[in-house]
Amino acid sequence: MSASHHPSDETLLAHATGGLDEAYRAVVATHLAGCAACRATVRVAEQVGGDLLASIERVPMRADALERAMARLDEPAPPPVPRPVATAGLPDTLAGYGMGRWRPMARGLAVATLLTPEGGRAGLHLLRIAPGMHLAQHGHRGLEMTSVLQGAFRDGEQVYRAGDVAETSDDDDHAPMAIGDEVCVCLIALSGRLRFRHWVFRLLQPLIGF
Amino acid sequence: MHEGFFLRLAAPGVALNMSGEATQATLLAGHIRLVADLRDRRAFAALFEHFAPRVKSYMLRLGATAAQAEDLAQETMLTLWRKAESFDPARAGAATWVFTIARNLRIDAIRRERLIEPGEPPEDAEAPDMAADAAMAVEQEEGRMRAALAALPEEQAMLLRMSFYEDYAHGDISARLGMPLGTVKSKLRRAMLRLREALEDLR
């Protein structure tokens, strides 16, 4: 599967630095698992990290640091942390993120929130959208990053299919719509609340929870 | 601010130093192989002397306390010892590999609970018998990367450094420099594009 919409270079760079909030990191990691081109870009950025590490000024370790390290070399390696199993139907990159229950938001639309233990500023959610259903027109204060896990959606002229990533930032207003025959499942990371254009949705927002 | 530090990236000496640096990178990669194949403690000690103070410095820059930075540097080196077999010189240079270990340990340390590392993409199946040639290519790539970094406009180089060394999301870099977020992003995008192009010439 080769994606046609990728995270931006600056997002891949931020991923390589380790500076992305956990929610965005999960979305990017999910895309990377299936995209060799983006993995190559991340490797370029990691090389920058390696180069900077090679030229950073050194800060002396404690006087006994090497001795301490050498003393630990014979310690048995800690038993491998058992890999949490991903919830059925979800990619492995989401293993370990506790998943809340599906909450219906509207006909043909349900949301489940994933728990992000680092407690970053961005939230991570799964969205199930029935074909033909569209999200209410909304804007964002922060960055919304969406990875399509199943099915497809259209946003304006663009069509996003499984493996694709959509980044929407700042004040872009949009009203994405699920297309095709299959239920569209998306992984969405967003910081800041959505700003729905229609007052009914603004009213419902506290109930929807994002 | 660490102006001298940022400026060093663009200093011509960096480019002139390329062959010397590449030799050192080969040496470090060789040490990691020795650790992997022979559990060579002297090689490990040499790697420790080289990398631990740098990893400590990296952690300090990202806001760790001295004690945390020291511990994370220790953990990084211990991980290097344990995972040396997984170092593939055909995929990454020694410094790049150590950087990714340090970065991942830092992310782990930030977590309240221990989880799997989601940032690890599945390994690409690349022909292992090409390792020697590929290692040479990686070394060339590193030299090329260093030259490309040195050739970046100073501002782009500074933003790249801030991305790696200051615990700021791009929005915070924007606030701190009084530069619109869109500008920060487009400058970083341009920097990444140049670096990718510089490496693609080689492929």
State whether residue B6 sits within 8 Å of chain A by CB: no
pLDDT of residue A76: 84
* Cβ separation B192–A13 shorter than 8 A: yes
> A8 at the B interface (CB within 8 A)?
yes
Task: Give the model confidence (pLDDT) of A64-91 as tens digits.
Answer: 999 999 999 998 887 776 666 667 678 8
Topology alike, domains B13-122 and B152-203: no
pLDDT along chain A (210 residues), means of 10: 86 92 93 95 94 93 97 85 69 85 83 80 88 75 86 92 87 80 92 58 52
Domain boundaries, chain B: 13-122, 152-203
Chain A residue closest to B138 (CA)? Answer: A47
- Four-CA torsion A71, A77, A78, A80, nearest 10 degrees: 160
Q: Which residues of A touch B5 (CB under 8 A)?
A: 57
> Which residue of A56, A73, A147, A190 is the best one to mutate when testing the B interface, meaning the one whose CB has the most B CBs within 10 A?
A56
Nearest CA in chain B to A33: B121
Check residue B130 and give its pLDDT. 39
The ipTM is 0.85
- Residues A173 and A135 sit within 8 Å (Cβ to Cβ): no
DSSP secondary structure letters along A168-198: EETT--B--EEESSSPEEEEEEESS-EEESS
Q: For residue B169, what are its two tokens? A: 């999301």
Q: Domain B152-203, CATH 2.60.320.10 — does that match?
A: no
Would you say the C-alpha torsion A169, A172, A178, A180 has a positive or negative sign? negative
Please state which CATH class domain B13-122 belongs to. Answer: mainly alpha
Inter-chain touch A13–B5, beta carbons under 8 Å: no
Nearest to A54 among B95, B192, B199 (CB): B95
Identify residue B64 by its one-letter amino acid code: A
Query: Please, which residues 118-137 of chain A have a Cβ atom closer than 8 Å to chain B?
Result: 118-119
Q: Which domain holds residue A38?
A: 1-210
Which chain A residues touch B69 with a CB distance below 8 Å?
Answer: 59
B93 near A CB under 8 A:
yes
Q: Residue B88 contacts by C-beta under 8 Å, 6 or more apart in sequence?
A: B131
List per-residue pLDDT tens for chain B, 203 residues long.
343 333 333 333 333 345 555 688 889 999 999 999 999 999 999 999 999 999 999 999 988 899 999 999 999 999 999 999 999 988 889 999 999 999 999 988 887 434 333 333 333 333 333 344 555 556 666 777 888 888 899 999 989 888 888 766 677 888 888 898 889 889 999 999 988 888 776 54
Token pair 């090679």: residue: A54
Number of domains in chain A: 1
Residue contact A48–B58, C-beta within 8 A: no
The CATH number linked to A150 is 2.60.120.10
Kindly state whether B100 is in contact with chain A, defined as any CB-CB distance less than 8 angstroms: yes
Q: Who contacts A140 (Cβ-Cβ below 8 Å, separation ≥6)?
A: A168, A169, A170, A171, A172, A190, A192, A194, A195
Residue B54, chain A, CB below 8 Å: the answer is: yes
Q: Which residue is it, tokens 């006087």?
A: A63
- The pLDDT, as a whole number, for residue B197 is 85
pTM of the complete model = 0.80
The crossing angle, in degrees rounded to 10, of helices A9-17 and B154-165 is 50
- In angstroms, what separates the C-alpha of B122 from chain A's closest C-alpha? 6
Interchain pair A66, B103: CB under 8 A: no
